[in-house]
Structure 1
């Protein structure tokens, strides 16, 4: 935040009801109330967006991201961007109940929407720096990341290391007070709009693969960094390849100790899998229950018993997901989500798949031919994008392994890659 944007102070003993009233007053002065028609959100009226990944030109996507960042910075003047974060990190130091109350208030108003890069910046990387960064890194990065003054992407996956992230081969070699980076990352959402990236690189190839990794905050305007957007099947180019050729990064930008990169990576991924602030009534990417209901209403299918049964399956799944996420959040009061977050992530991707199946049955051919009818052909962007999240943040298979081994205590799967990384066949 700039000096002219310093947030107001809040009584740490403020009740949730008083906080809700104050937040509502601020939102009424700074945003327009949402307009809805009947139970279905805006059924038959206005823009209809159920996309999972943006289908925009470079300039459109850039303006969309900047609009979201500007809104977060406006909220930051009141501390509403970080309600339950510590005051020294730009937050209000209030409880999670206050944060949830703020979310309920905000959902009543028109806001710029979401974008994965912004979510990664404020929810994942800021949280990782808070959990594991040095005092200097925390002082430098937490407030500008959490308020979206700077944007940062993940530099994790590689062409040969996706679900098996620990097998990555991008190298970082020590040279005095700097590290020299060579290699390639892929599927880095929003890299073309980012100023920074959270990079996981291999610093010791002679130990087991999980032990030889180190994490860094890397400025993407460093010489030797090349970002190449990837055209995706749902349109747009949100994903990128990022290449590193003799890229130098200072050691004081290292996150955690040398060799602790796997811990940093799994911490970030645990925040990615924590959907405790989302729910069936939210506006997460991929569409909501209300939008699905709106389509059913527009199609005149809400009196059909088969369709009603399918709709209720989606609704119930959403409620179960919401309560599961709430429980996982309560278990993570220490500020670092545990393996239970994998269950929430799995429920989320399964919920998007279920929604795709239900809407496909309702729309039929209207999914493949654009008739101009509201809330019909637009669902293509959901169907084409939703499968991506069965891989992003750890595949469904990885989530099931985590749940089985770390939550249920089942025996680990046999492994053939427990020796030094250099000895693993590739």
Structure 2
């Protein structure tokens, strides 16, 4: 049963999912080698040179095209966007099977383009703008987020990058930071301030920015994990035609929240990112430490956390099938995911001891890539503190935090 043979929108039975998984496994066997054991990589962010990172992206883009052309690349998307219009259950079944094979891996930039920006453009874009969706899903075009700024990180609505109307377009000046993969991106989803006279949430507008536009300068930032996938982006008199405005003027906050909603729902969706119980257990056996009480306790904690995460995914799946929106539950899952990554780091430290910081030549030193990279996801997509505030206010119904800038024009807010 291939993606092309399934009734659009149908809720699958367990037998139908098993049949689909078997067909997907057969197709994958014709394109990839089977993986022998757990994925050896436990890196959260890659430590690669520019050339090696570009080569990795090229391999991932080629794999995205292969899947898309075979009908496996956009299983839940509508047919007019090259998708199959299937239940998310099929997408999850394919992902489970794909993990059995040695695929090219992943990169933040391709994940942002396919899982965050493509659905945002589909939701807010004009018919002309929506022509970008298919190339994003297929990996032909790469897109980054241009949201955070040095003076407005977690307080995204406080951003200062200006977009001033100039005839049939806009002139943008400002600076963005923490833009994953911007040095390789073809497009950027940009949020800018278009009316400083309004309160901060209401004076924002979203744009699609071609990254080769004159005045755009990208500077990669070296991370403590060694890589430079994060970037700072400088915008100096950058001209954007109004035809690339995404959504209505002043609705940039709604566009940003939609993208962030996809991000929080996507966070943790890839169970392989950064490794976990399987890799820890493999190294515990290699080092002969499975009998150590502290190691066993940490392994058990990671195993339980992964099982709880799987149940959370199941709950989210059932909610989507019932027609519910993710809402603040995405923040709960994102927070749980970052806490689980922290637990994996702590477990690696207990297991390895000095091997975590000194290469013993036995392959276990790779865990330093996890330990140094995991804290980044406690900030990306909204910090842990922001997620807790969302959970408190929107899930638990607690009184909102006092905000002195509520209803105040952005230009009058002290900075």
> TM (normalized to structure 2)?
0.94
Q: Is it true that 1:407 corresponds to 2:395 in the alignment?
A: yes
1:202-230 Cα offsets, whole Å, 9 max, x none, are 01100100000011110000001001111
Q: Which residue of 2 aligns with 1:29?
A: 30
Rounded Cα–Cα distance in structure 2 between residues aligned with 1:211 and 1:382: 39
Determine the C-alpha separation between the residues in 2 that align with 1:373 and 1:192. 34
1:10 lines up with 2:5 in the alignment:
yes
**C-alpha distance in 2 between matches for 1:162 and 1:424:** 16
- In structure 2, the CA distance between the partners of 1:200 and 1:332, relative to structure 1 (3 Å rule), is farther
8 Å Cα contact 1:271/1:336 also seen in 2: no
Q: 1:10-64 CA deviation, whole Å, 9 max, x = no partner? A: 342683233223212211111111112xxxx37xxxxx32111110000000000
Is 2:117 aligned against 1:117? Answer: no
Q: How does 1:15-414 map to 2 (within 5 A)?
A: 15-36=16-37, 41=38, 48-138=40-130, 140-275=131-266, 278=269, 282-284=271-273, 286-332=274-320, 337-374=326-363, 376-414=364-402
| In structure 2, C-alpha distance between the alignment counterparts of 1:271 and 1:152, rounded to whole Å | 15
Decide whether the 8 Å contact of 1:209 with 1:421 is kept in 2: yes
Contact conserved, 2:3 with 2:84, CA < 8 A, in 1?
no
* Inter-partner Cα distance in structure 1 for 2:124 and 2:315: 24
Cα distance, 1:248–1:67 mapped onto 2, change above 3 Å = same
Superposed displacement of residue 325, structure 1: 3.1
RMSD: 1.8
Aligned partners of 1:58 and 1:364: how far apart in 2?
A: 32
Runs (5+) with no aligned partner, structure 1: 1-6, 43-47
CA distance in 1, matches of 2:336, 2:268: 14
* SS of residue matched to 1:201: strand
State whether residues 17 and 93 of structure 2, in contact with CA within 8 Å, keep that contact through their aligned partners in structure 1: yes
SS at 1:274 equivalent = helix
Where 1:30 maps in the other structure, the secondary structure is coil
Worse-matched range after superposition: 269-278 or 11-20:
11-20
Q: 2: distance between equivalents of 1:22 and 1:354? A: 36
Q: Which residue number corresponds to residue 3 of structure 1?
A: none
Aligned CA distance change for structure 1 residues 29 and 18 (closer, same or farther; 3 Å): same
TM-score between the two structures when normalised by the length of structure 1: 0.92
Between the aligned partners of 2:195 and 2:324, the Cα distance in structure 1 is: 30
Q: Does structure 2 retain, via aligned residues, the 8 Å contact 1:156–1:165?
A: yes
Report SS of the residue matched to 2:376: helix
